[in-house]
């Protein structure tokens, strides 16, 4: 174990079982000097994502984009702060896992238009099937199914989810750890083929910075 001394404000500290620890947000900032940009974005997306109350017992994110920006602004000379600022520009609310964030960044690096996140098939319907990301205007739903999706009950739910999108005229692209292992190269090619006609009219087509 290696100890480090940092200057922290009261709002950067929380208590867990009587032990004072840094908040998740401050930990994210402190790790900006050590993590890669991609890992920092993945961690940041996790901090700002909207939790699922029925599974997590909370309804509020650990922090917001505005909260993280304010935190970074309070520490302009901290080692790694430049990378933290870069990560903030790439973070988005809506990724439920690190692979989803990595897929989104790979799409940005391939100069694809910025995808919609957590797409409800039926907006305003509380029981609507949801796609991890995709393009509503092109009816393309992209799902990243981690290992827990292999469980029989989850697998059945996934099939029903995907079938609902398909019956509504959507194309469903389901990705897994094999796609993650090759950096989503094959997936990116499939997405490009689907969007090969007219995708540049997407309203966010010019607003998504790539990552190298």
Q: Please write the tens of the pLDDT for every residue from 90-102.
A: 999 999 999 999 9
Class of the domain covering 94-212: alpha beta
Domain ranges, ordered by start, for the chain: 1-93, 94-212
Q: What is the model's pTM?
A: 0.86
Model confidence pLDDT, tens digit, residues 164-185 = 999 999 999 999 999 999 999 9
DSSP string, 85-136: HHHHHH--TT--SHHHHHHHHHHHHTTPPPPEEEEESSTT-TT--EEEEEEG
Model confidence pLDDT, tens digit, residues 26-70 = 999 999 999 999 999 999 999 999 998 887 888 899 999 999 999
Alpha-carbon gap, residue 169 to 20, rounded angstroms: 52
């Amino acid at each position: 174990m290696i100890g480090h001394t940092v200057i922290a404000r009261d709002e950067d500290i929380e208590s867990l079982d009587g032990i004072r620890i840094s908040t998740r947000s401050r930990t994210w900032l402190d790790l900006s000097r050590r993590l890669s940009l991609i890992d920092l974005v993945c961690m940041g997306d996790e901090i700002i994502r909207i939790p699922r109350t029925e599974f997590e017992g909370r309804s509020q994110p650990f922090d917001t984009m505005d909260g993280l920006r304010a935190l970074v602004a309070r520490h302009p000379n901290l080692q790694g702060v430049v990378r933290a600022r870069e990560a903030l520009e790439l973070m988005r609310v809506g990724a439920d896992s690190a692979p989803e964030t990595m897929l989104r960044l790979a799409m940005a690096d391939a100069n694809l238009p910025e995808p919609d996140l957590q797409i409800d098939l039926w907006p305003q319907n509380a029981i609507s099937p949801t796609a991890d990301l995709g393009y509503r205007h092109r009816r393309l739903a992209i799902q990243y199914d981690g290992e827990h999706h292999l469980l029989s009950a989850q697998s059945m739910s996934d099939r029903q989810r995907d079938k609902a999108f398909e019956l509504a005229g959507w194309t469903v692209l389901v990705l897994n750890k094999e796609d993650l292992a090759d950096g989503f190269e094959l997936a990116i090619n499939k997405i490009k083929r689907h969007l090969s006609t007219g995708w540049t009219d997407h309203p966010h087509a010019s607003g998504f910075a790539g990552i190298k």
